[in-house]
Structures are given as structure tokens and as C-alpha cells.
Amino acid sequence: MWTGLRAGRIVLVPGADMKTPLLGFLSAVIAISAGAPDWQLPCDLRETSHGSVCVCNSTYCDYLEPPQLTDISQIVVISSSKDGLRFKKTTGDLSEKKPITIDDKQFTDENFKADAIVVDEERAWLQLANIPQSLFINASIKTYRISVKREQSFQNVSIFGGAFTGTVSYLLKELPEELQDHVYRSYFHPVGIAYNTVRMSIGGSDFDMEPWAYNELPLHDPKLSNFTELDPRDLQKVEQLKRLKTIAKVDILKIMGAAWSAPTWMKSNNRWTGFGQLKSEYYQTWALYHLKFLELMRAKNMPIWAISTGNEPLNGVIGFFFVHFMSMGWTPWQQAIWLNDNLGPTIRNSAESKVLIFGNDDQRYTYPTWFRRMRSSRNNSLNYLDGLAVHWYWDELIAPQLIDQAHTDMPNKLLLNTESCIGDKPWQTHGPELGSWQRGESYMRAYTQDLTHNFNGWLDWNLVLDEQGGPNYIKNFVDAPIIVNATSRAEIYKQPIFYAIGHFSKFLPPESVRIETRIENQSNPFTQLSVVGFQRPDGSVALIIYNGQNLPVDVALDDSQRGAIQLRLPPRSWHTVLYK
């Protein structure tokens, strides 16, 4: 029987079905005398055709209590691997001056085929090949030297989260309450991956059961006379978010709002999608629309932390050829006028004046040109922006130097990735690849790259989707970190993507600051090893290291204050290294 708690006791459900005799933990329910959960439960790993997932049901889910560094000589390494590790905790004593080895299963089957991934760090393009294990099973292990300079600091990192879409709300409602709570706890509780932010649409999005907006009727109503209360769909979300805050022990939940489309009567094409823009006579009405949403959400004790100027504005200008969901087009010149003359003054002169405003909310390839053109239209328009919002979808083809240029132009604005998922491209599986380690690696590389380029955080797309990658009205199926078994409604599946995100979000509390880290002897730019480092508010260091190679690697850390630390990391693995 598993007894890995540092405090408390284990209570077993009588007659519980122990599916895994070796571990004997699957129906364990933990109780501690103080009444607060002290969760440290391992993954119930299940193999799939694409890899493996961690299975949760109403009575069991895997959790890891945040590691506490109780001694100056203590080091903790949290590890996940293609071979089945999920948040495995390894501890060591730095005063012993011994290498710390992360144990993982080693493949010995010569028929095993490993995916070799080659990545250009600037564009993250991939090349896949099947390589027999026998070619590298006895290969020499290379040592990489990583310098850590705490004195050189960069941006703070405070925001991690995902989207609470109409689809997410719908699926959660279909689950038993205990399983809903596992979703909330897994994402937002410190024993989960410690999200602190959700993104939600103002009106509908592409992940809803139908397109919708507030005040669809009456038509041509600039005063928005029918926008007096929250829609039942948003009222359901409010109740679910209240439950989330209670279960996850979240005192302050940041909510970011973004509108996909105005009611059709405000638009030039009178349609939800296609080539269509906001009619200029409704510019002030559209600003009022945002303010009304902020006021109604605050009235329900769910104040909005931030809004954007609109989701993916180019979808209604050039993206309509392939985008068939709710959208509304803007050019940067038009959006500058609306922001400067309408939205900015409306929000700043209201009781919601402290709500942050993020600009663009579109792909990396629009940077920095979008904002330079906004400035050319209304010179002061960018003064109303508190931050810049970027979507991930074409980052594998577009270098991050475009973001660097925007950051140089506007160094004092927050920089967030506000949407990401896999399965949207023509060459990808449209929907989940359940258990795909490769998709998790895509996230690991992307988070590392963005945080290295001054991002202050990352908001993923749907918190949960079903086995098909939906549902939604447009059959726009993609992947998500947690997949719901919508057929049985009895299980959810935590994918490698979930743990890739968690290696960052769980261990980087708000106000963590990026510090300089460098791989000193990485002469080959295609070598699959990366690192990004942070100093946490308590003064400890968190390094996130990714080994994408099919071999173990030795890592020789050289910390400017701590000195030398030796690690051995298994193949195809991710690690969060914590020490003081």
C-alpha cells in the first residue's frame, strides 16, 4: 500500500478495486487532522496508441504537494519523461557533492523505435525519423555545462492559466461533481499546477455550442437596451468559477475577457463570420458593450482583471478564407481609432478603470508592425494599452525576434501568450492524440522560448475537451491538456501537455523573475537541450531543463552563488530543478 505522505493518514475505501497491485493506491482518499488536503498521489498511468496518460476518476487523481526546501543544502528535482515519469520527485543533498541521478526505465528492446526530433531554436521546426534503439543504447553520455547567473535578471513571470470556454463549461456540467472538482484542483490548486488566471469570451467563441452575442435583439440598438443581465451561459460559468475558487483555494482569480464578434447588426457583413468589420457608427456602442460586461461580472463578484481589443482581428480581414467561426475584422488603423476615441476613454473614465487592456490578441507574425501602424493612425492610442497579447499558432514558422522588436518599442507593457493548442494545422491530427509526448514537447519548447523572450506568462486554450476535440458548432476539433471521457463521464485523462505546462506554472509563483542561464558548450544549434531559469520570491532558484534527445545527458550546473551541481537526466524528459 502506498504511504508517501509526510503528514496525515490514508483512509481506504472498503472494497476498493486495486487495479495496480504493485502500487495499491488507486482508491486512496487522504484525510488530515487539520482538514486541508495534503495530496501526494502518483499518476495512474495508462498506455495509449500515442503514448500514455494519467487517469483520474471520481475517487482518485494524481497530485503533488509543492516541494518545500527546508535546508540550504537541499535540492529537489521534479521530473516527467516519455517513458512514464510524471512529476517524479527526487531529492538530494548538495553538501555531499554527489551527482543527482534521475532514475527512469531504460529501453532494451532492439525493436523499439525512437522519434528523433531536430529543432531550430528560433523557429522550432521539426524533422522526425525512426531510429533503432540499438544505434544509441551504448552511446557515450555527453556532459552539458549550464551557467546560472542570478545577478542578471529580466522580466517577472506571474500569469499562468487557460480558457474557460462555452465548451469547457458544457463538458464540466456533464461530469459528476467529484470529477469536476478534480479538474479544478488539478489546474488551480497548489497540489495541481497552480493556475491563477482564466480567459473567457465576451459573448460566444469558436468553442461554444452555437455563435452568440449579447443584445442580438433588438436590432440597431446603440444604447444596448437588452444588455441588462448576464446570459444564462455566463451565469453557469460564474457558478462554476465560484466552485473552482472554493475547491482550489484560490482567493484571487484573474479573469481575462475577449470578444470574438459583435452582434451581427453592428457588422458590415451582417454575419457572424467572413469578411466583416465593425460599422463605424457603432464604435462607441461596442465600447459600451465591453463596459456593460465588466459591470455585470463585478455585480456577480467575478471582477474582470483584463480585456483585449478583440480576438484575432485579422480573421475578419484576411483569415476568412479558412476561418469559419465567429470573428470580426480590424485593421490596425481602425483599431487604433476605436481604442483611442472609444474603448480607452470609456473604460478609463468608469468604475472599471483599473481593468487592464491588452492589444492585438493575434499571431506572432503581426508583431511589431501592428502596433507601429496603430501609432501612425492615432499617435496616443498605445497609451491605453497595458499589455500585448500573442497567439501561439504559427510560432513554429515565425522567429521570436519579431516579439523582441515589439518589446524594444514598448518595454513597459506586459507580454502574454493568450491562446495555444495543437491540432489546428492541416498537417496535424485534428483533435487529441491521446498521450502524445511529442505534443507535450512542442509545449515545452514553446514555453521555454517565449519566457526566454520576455513573456510574463501564458494562457492556454480550452481547459478540457472531449475525445474528439470538441464539441463546438463549427467542428473545429483540437487537442487539450486534459481530455474528458464524454461517453462514460467517469474518467478524465491528463496528457503530457498538462505536465509540460505544469513544469512551469506549478513551480513559478507570481513575481518569479527570470535570471540568466546559458548552455556553455552547445556548439550544435540542433541539439535538443534547453534551459530557462528563475529566482522565486523566496530566493530559491527554479530551472526548467528539457532533454529532447534519445540519450541520457549529464548536466554540470555552475551557479554564480551556489557553485557546481551535477545532474544526470534520462532521455526525452523534462525537469524542474529547485534549490536555494
Contact 25/3 with Cβ under 8 angstroms? no
Any domain includes 59: no
Query: What's phi and psi for 436, nearest 5 deg?
Result: -65, 115
Q: Is the pTM of this model over 0.85?
A: yes
Any domain includes 112: yes
Any domain includes 469: no
Any domain includes 540: yes
Alpha-carbon span 38 to 126, nearest angstrom:
41
Any domain includes 405: no
The CATH number of the domain holding residue 83 is: 2.60.40.1180
Number of structural domains the chain divides into: 1
Contact 360/367 with Cβ under 8 angstroms? yes
Any domain includes 192: no
pLDDT, position 372:
98
Any domain includes 339: no
Any domain includes 139: yes
Ranges of residues in the chain with a pLDDT under 50 are: 1-38, 106-133
N-term to C-term CA, the chain: 33
pLDDT, position 104:
87
Q: Report the greatest alpha carbon distance in the chain.
A: 75
DSSP letter string, 469-517 = S---TT------SEEE-TTTSS-EEE-HHHHHHHHHHTT--TTEEEEEE
Structural domain range at position 568: 67-126+135-154+516-579
pLDDT, position 39:
53
